[in-house]
Each structure stands twice: as C-alpha cells, then as structure tokens.
Amino acid sequence: AGVGYFPWLCNLLGHSCEFTDVDPPKFYSLVWPELGIGGYHHCEVIGGKDFRLPGSYDIITAHRTVFDISNYHWHVKEWQHFLICCERHLNEDGELFVLTNLSGDIFHRAHPDVLAFFQPYRVERFRSLAFRMSKQQIKDTLCLEL
C-alpha cells in the first residue's frame, strides 16, 4: 500500500478498501490515520508459498509490485501459485488487476514465458507488465475445479 494514496482514493470514491504491506516504514503508519484510512493487514507474498487475506473481495489489486522481483525472478510457476491464492479470495464476480514494476526499462524484466502466459489478459496502456483477470478466467487458465 505504500503511503496509502490508493486506499485513500478508493475511500474518497465511496469504496470499502483494505490494504496490505510488508513491514511498512513507521512513516507510512503515521500517514494512514492522517489520510483517514484503516484496514491495514500484514501480507507477505513469496513465490510458491500460500498467502492469506482476511476476507473475500470484489477486486484485488497489486500496484507497482516488488514481491515478484525481490531476491529472484518470478517465472510462470510462481505466478500460477499467486493466481491460485488470489482466486481463493475473490468473490464469484471478482477480478484481479496487477501492475508490476517489470518493464523493459529496468533490469528486472518479465521472462518471455511470463509475458506469453499473461498475453490474453494484458492491459497494454502501461509501460510495465499489467494484467486483469476475472475469477473465472483464473480458474479457466489454471484448470481449477469449479
């Protein structure tokens, strides 16, 4: 969530928003009450490991991700596991939107297999890898039980 601008904007527009971060700097936690946002949950996303969110959601977003470039590069297998975890927390009509930091302008680029995997779901108006998937598309892509 960083400093909290996205949750603040969601709340400003009348949406209920919970947000996650891993060990945020104290400055962030001091800013959140000033922005009038609450609903912080600690969540660490590690490739190939389950993560839990506190509820189910209409939309899950991840903006300017860093979990996929920390210490190693994520490949298709890690992204598939991430999708499985997200699918578990999406409502039936829910959607996932991810905007990564993976671009051609930085050292950590998405592997060509990752780009191919997400190609049907890419949102092209961003310079980095961005994709949007419904819960059903995640199920269909991963052949999950309905």
Determine whether 107 is exposed, middle or buried from the number of CB atoms within 10 Å of its CB (0-12, 13-18, 19+).
Answer: exposed
pLDDT of amino acid 146: 44
Tell me the whole-structure pTM to 2 decimals. 0.88
pLDDT at 110 over 90: no
CA distance 109 to 18: 29
Helix or strand run (H / E) with residue 63: strand 57-65
Q: In whole numbers, what is the pLDDT of the chain averaged over residues?
A: 88
Using CA atoms of 135, 140, 145, 146 in order, give the dihedral in degrees to the nearest 10. 60
| pLDDT score, position 112 | 84
Q: Which two tokens stand for residue 141?
A: 């892509």
**pLDDT number for residue 65:** 83
pLDDT score of 59: 97
Convert the pLDDT of each residue in 117-130 to its tens digit.
999 999 988 888 89
Q: Is 36 left (phi over 0), alpha (psi -120 to 50) or beta?
A: left
> SS3 string of 97-121?
EEEECCCCCCCCCCCHHHHHHHHHH
SS3 of residue 65 by DSSP: strand
Residue 64: closest CA among 35, 106, 95:
106
Give me 120's structure tokens.
């049907």
- Say if residue 61's pLDDT is above 90: yes
Answer whether residue 135 shows pLDDT above 80: yes
